[in-house]
Structure 1
Amino acid sequence: MIYKMIQTMRWYGPKDPVSLTDILQSGATGIVSALHQIPNGETWPLEEIRKRKELIESAGLSWDVVESVPVHEKIKTRSGNFQELIENYKQTIRNLASEGIFRICYNFMPILDWTRTKLAHPLPNGARALFFVKKEVTAFDLFILKREGSEREYSAQEIAAAKDFYENASEDELKRVQDNILKGLPGSEEGYTMEQFKEALATYRNIGRKELAENLKLFLDEIIPTAQENGVFLAIHPDDPPFDIFGLPRVVSTAEDMKRIIQDNSSRHNGFTFCTGSYGVRADNDLVAMIREFGKYIHFIHLRSTRRDEEGNFFEDNHLDGNVPMEAVIAEILKIQKIRKISIPMRPDHGHQMLDDLNKPIINPGYTAIGRLKGLAEIRGAEAALIWAGIV
């Protein structure tokens, strides 16, 4: 028997300009959504979960994955009332399970969620893509944020490139970089002023990778039993970008990180969101080998392709192009599903702004309808071709 991936789309709720009807027309059958209106750290009320689920189902779709139930910063630093916040998280797990929602995506990135400096980078074909420009991030760190000791974390070449950008950039360009870093991108739960960001950075003064990895372990030690009792599968999303940024440690970036997470707690309910775009930014991540090694712990899949260069820049390429060997990735996923005898929810991620969407105001960069529809069509086509060819 062939087990195809469950095709889903992310939906930001009733205010999302991409409607549930649009998503239904794309060919997707499921929705990935979250209650972004609930303040970070609070328990998600049962009635609000039920209301969102009913809205999705009334459109002929199913709520397959929660993305995300955010982890409060006090839990990551184990400070203040972190224990109370963990109890809130447990109750949210119970409430979601009671409504038949059994997959939760989350991340453990300190302070900042996913980060890009350009949200509408022009591609040769006229479409626009999200772009991470290393010299712009470095310039922000060195010359705008002026983080103490930051110059020791960059090479002379990186500092020179950042200085050149900073000295020649317009006020609008510098504002664009600062806003895109501090205000938060779609799915991020918090935005910051410059002063708030500096204060938040200070809370990690004594927390490096070792300490953050230990805090993640302690968090999972507490919530995994609740997930097991309620049949919920937790799926941690990798860091984006998958390396330290602004002196903040990142602990979910490599195959070694995945191995550590499983060694710390080998419950099947402790698993991964396998995001090919995030892991694919690192040349030392062998995506196919990672799926093969950790396949039984993969509970959710993001398929997108990033293209990187030697200077540390990367952008969102077409779903079947870039540095991600997408056809080989899909083939390995199909093999894992066949072994596990399940279908795993998948969503195309970070589509290009293109066609009619070029003329519309963009509320959620990377989440316009047409670019993701293109990505979904390409992924569905690749999956169908692999099955037809008898690869799995």
Structure 2
Amino acid sequence: MRHTWRWFGPVDKASVHDAAQAGAHGIVSALHHVPTGDVWPAAEIEKRQQEVRAGGLEWEVVESVPVSESVKTQTGPWREHIANWQETLRRLSAAGIRTVCYNFMPVLDWTRTDLRWTARHGAKAMRFDRIDFAAFDIHLLERPGALEDYDAETRAKAERRFGEMTEERRVALSRNVGAGLPGSADGYSLPQLRDHLKTYAGIDREKLRRHLVDFLTEVTPVAERVGINICAHPDDPPWALLGLPRILSTAEDYAFMLREVDSPANGVTFCTGSLGARAQNDLPAMVRQFAPRIHFVHLRNVRREEDRTPCSFYEDEHLEGDTDMVAVIAELLEEEKRRRAAGRADHQIPMRPDHGQEILDDLARGAQPGYPAIGRLKGLAELRGIERALSHAVMTIPSSRS
């Protein structure tokens, strides 16, 4: 696999030099300062490339070109935003970039109730607490219809939890849930979040699915022509939130998307952390099912704290948690072998160690939540070790032991 590292630009507390020292082959980045829906200026693309090259690496993957809420709801300037998305693909291709990740989650990107929860050994990790989230939805956001979305036991626990919260915890919970895209300056206050939720009135799961297909029908032919693979990131967490539909949470969801827009350029960002929060998702089987269309991989692990969906979970160490990371990597390496045999130019799949626990000096660095330097270095080293072991010639030699 091609080992990459997410970098948020010059504001990132971990530099490109740090990524190179950690063993990354290339950089994953985006122009977070460009307003969602606008065309990415060619000069800004070139500037980011030069910033990355100054650290000794190349900008290889874009994560993400955001899809506007107008496109998701098909309201306002949504057609203009699609045209701008297409033009951004053309400009990225002209700059030599061949992989573009995006997501189609309504209103909220990844959602956590804790951004720096204390895990074992004092490490800090991101966490989703199901009861805290229900308390936020019912008692802080006061979303109309929220009570009907939870069972009686959850409602009772959420009421008790809310009553026990300090004002400081309530403010922190609102801030954590309302956080925007990683690396962006976006974020929602409670009134702003309520207003955004209203824009999805009348948009159910099937309608949002059709809007995704409409978007892909427009942008995929452009991606094909300019030689870019676009890849959809799964919902995080992979279930409905705040009354909003989620449409990329299961194998069936991805099968629908790939079937409706059946092009090699239309593919998957396979995120083991997002998909792994749903116990019903068999990740090695999903890699086998979608292998030819997996264009980008996020490797991280989560520990589910309950045997249910939705559940509470936290982000565990990369080789711990509930996902069999060895089995997932083995399937990805098999796909790379098939691609090499078929002569595919994209036989090497870009992967990055996604998120990570804050350990050692990370604890005082104040990095973007989920993106510590040392925690990701540790994760990349572990993942690289698994890959190297599975790829070693000794693995294909029959044992002489009786």
TM-score for the superposition, normalised by structure 1: 0.97
Unmatched tracts of structure 2, length 5 or more: 341-346, 398-402
Q: Tell me the equivalent position of 1:63.
A: 59
- Matched to 1:80, the amino acid is G
Contact 2:14 2:367 in 1 (8 A): no
Aligned AA (1:124): R
Output one character per residue of 1:226-252: Cα deviation in whole Å (capped at 9) or x when no partner: 101100100100000000000010000
Aligned to 1:317: 316
SS of the aligned residue for 1:347 comes to strand
Does the alignment pair 1:242 with 2:247? Answer: no
Match of 1:351 among 343, 350, 356: 356
Does structure 1 residue 176 correspond to structure 2 residue 181? no
**Cα distance in 2, alignment partners of residues 365 and 207 from structure 1:** 31
Aligned residues: 387
Matched, 1:386 2:385: no
State the percentage of identical aligned residues.
48
2:377 counterpart of 1:373: yes
Give, in whole Å, the separation in 2 of the partners of 1:366 and 1:80.
Answer: 33
Shift of residue 189 of structure 1? 6.4
Which SS does the other structure have where 2:121 is aligned?
Answer: coil
**Equivalent in the alignment of 1:266:** 262
Structure 1 counterpart of 2:325: 326
Residues in 2 aligned to 1:355 and 1:186: alpha-carbon distance in whole angstroms: 23
Distance 2:227 2:95 in 1: 12
SS in 1 for 2:395: coil
Aligned equivalents of 1:123 and 1:150: distance in 2? 30
1:385 positional shift = 1.2
- Structure 2 residue identity aligned to 1:378: E
Which secondary structure state, in structure 1, belongs to the residue aligned with residue 381 of structure 2? helix
The CA deviation at 1:390 is 2.1
**By how many angstroms is 1:86 displaced?**
0.5
Distance 1:265 1:189 in 2: 32
Q: Any runs of at least 4 consecutive aligned residues in structure 1 with deviations exceeding 4 A, and if so which?
A: none
Q: Is the 8 A contact 2:356 2:376 kept in 1?
A: yes
Q: Matches of 2:178 and 2:265 in 1, distance apart? A: 33
Contact 1:301–1:344 under 8 Å retained in 2: yes
In structure 1, the gaps of 5 or more residues are none
Deviations 1:101-145 (A, max 9, x none): 010000000000001111111122111111001111100110111
| Bigger mean CA deviation after superposition, 376-385 or 115-124 | 115-124
Compute the displacement of 1:219 (Å): 0.3
Aligned 1:181-220 pairs, distance under 5 A: 181-184=177-180, 186-187=182-183, 190-220=186-216
Q: Cα RMSD (Å) of the superposition? A: 1.2
Answering whether residue 56 of structure 2 is matched by residue 54 of structure 1, we say no
SS at match of 2:361: helix
The correspondence for 1:138, drawn from 134, 144, 158, is: 134
CA distance, structure 1, for counterparts of residue 185 and residue 275 of structure 2? 22
Counterpart residue number, 2:343: none
Contact 1:114/1:188, CA 8 A, preserved across alignment? no
C-alpha contact (below 8 Å) 1:7/1:29 kept by paired residues: yes
Tell me, in whole angstroms, the C-alpha distance in 2 between the residues paired with 1:189 and 1:302.
23
8 Å Cα contact 1:6-1:29 kept in structure 2: yes
Q: Which amino acid aligns with 1:318?
A: E
Q: Secondary structure at the residue paired with 2:39? A: coil
CA apart distance, 1:91: 0.4
The within-5 A match list for 1:79-228 is: 79-184=75-180, 186-187=182-183, 190-228=186-224
Q: SS of 1:390's equivalent?
A: helix
Relative to the length of structure 2, the TM-score reads 0.94
Q: Distance in 1 between matches of 2:84 and 2:147?
A: 40
Q: Distance in 2 between matches of 1:101 and 1:313?
A: 37
Aligned equivalents of 2:371, 2:8: Cα separation in 1? 9
Match of 2:400 in 1: none
Match for residue 27 of structure 1?
23
